[in-house]
Amino acid sequence: MSIPFNRPGLKGRELEYISQALESRHLSGDGPFTKKCHAWLERELHTPSALLTHSCTAALEMSMLLDDLNPGDEVIMPSFTFVSTANAVALRGAVPVFVDIRHDTLNLDEKLIEEAITPRTRAIMVVHYAGVACEMDTILAIARKHNLMVCEDAAQGLLAYYKGRALGTIGDLGCISFHETKNVVSGEGGALLINNERFKLRAEIIREKGTNRSQFFRGQVDKYTWVDIGSSYLPSEVLAALLLAQLEVSREITTERLATWNRYHAGFASLEGRVSRPHIPSDCQHNGHLYYLLASSLEERTSLLAFLKSRGIGSVFHYVPLHTAPAGLKYGRTHGSLGFTDSCSERLLRLPLWSGLSPADVDRVIETVHEFYRK
């Protein structure tokens, strides 16, 4: 593809920091680069505690371990999300309960949450699609009323905000991704943001294979041992070195992506009505994570994908709704109609958006889409 859908960019001191990590001979987790990443996330996002993980999937799994889910418990979430959101619940023997999404933001429809709550409901898992915040005030009020934990799947939400608060820092727990398709990358990687103090110590233990190893290194115990369930959720120090370099230029990356997003948005304004463009509520400050168009039908989207490919432009659709997937049918259940989830999934098309994509290439994508609709 002459304009690929995604291209991870190196913009800072990545090679320098990776070399330093290799020279230090500390290649396992929780070395000096990991600690600097923790400090950056806590300082810049205003979260009490951050822990790097080897993926956002790992952070999501940790969040459900921290909620002590048991077989038969339920967690409310959208079906329009990546499989890791539901897997974290299903791995505990609990049930993902799929609810429809809003027509404007493609986020969990907060108006449908309360009627989906049962005596088995333990948590609400929100997903901030495209770095645009869910309606968190309403969701938090529902959670407080029913004594439910709120976990934010903010995989796409680094440096995006809801009423001035960073996504991932609003609920009890937040999960961030640094996969190579995200704004800030370490190839694979993630972080768990711990906003509720009662989870802090146990999160350290779960992340360290169920041991109190972190307390041992702080001198709080004279030896460390197995004290709880857990797994190996730490990333290597080499990945942390790569991530630190990216975090240091993350605001520059975000500014660049927002400029691309805004260029797309202006360029497709005249197509509104034939396609639907993203909507950003006034309370939300997004991060330019992705730009999508909603075609009028599956057939139209399929034709547009093929047309862009024929012109050397990479574009993709997004999630197959989890409630329609074989594992979703086996492990989850739906509440009410998920008609818009189904429709959105069939019509959504994502366009190239990455740090380093030139304005000329953006204009070429815009013109190619217009050419398709002229024909």
Phi and psi dihedrals of 267, rounded to 5?
-70, -25
Q: Are residues 92 and 206 in the same domain?
A: yes
132-177: pLDDT as tens digits:
999 999 999 999 999 999 999 999 999 999 999 999 999 999 999 9
Q: Are residues 212 and 124 in the same domain?
A: yes
59-84: pLDDT as tens digits:
999 999 999 999 999 999 999 999 99
Phi and psi dihedrals of 190, rounded to 5?
-165, -175
Q: Are residues 190 and 257 in the same domain?
A: no
Q: Is 269 exposed, middle or buried (0-12, 13-18, 19+ CB in 10 A)?
A: exposed
101, 81 in Cβ contact below 8 A?
A: no
Looking at the 3D structure of the chain, how many domains does it have? Answer: 2
Residue 259: give the domain boundaries. 250-374
As a whole number of angstroms, the distance between CA 195 and CA 218 comes to 21
Among 178, 180, 172, which residue's Cα sits nearest to residue 190?
Answer: 178
Q: Are residues 67 and 191 in the same domain?
A: yes
CATH assignment at residue 70: 3.40.640.10
Q: Are residues 222 and 352 in the same domain?
A: no
Residue 257, CA distances (Å) to 209, 240, 254, 260, 357 in order? 37, 23, 5, 5, 9
CATH assignment at residue 278: 3.90.1150.10
Tell me, yes or no, if the pTM score tops 0.75.
yes
157, 134 in Cβ contact below 8 A?
A: no
Q: pLDDT digit of tens for each residue in the chain (375 aa)?
A: 699 999 998 888 999 999 999 999 889 889 999 999 999 999 999 999 999 999 999 999 999 999 999 999 999 999 999 999 999 999 999 999 999 999 999 999 999 999 999 999 999 999 999 999 999 999 999 999 999 999 999 999 999 999 999 999 999 999 999 999 999 999 999 999 999 999 999 999 999 999 998 888 888 888 899 999 999 999 999 999 999 999 999 999 999 999 999 999 999 999 999 999 999 999 999 999 999 999 999 999 999 999 999 999 999 999 999 999 999 999 999 999 999 999 999 999 999 999 999 999 999 999 999 999 998
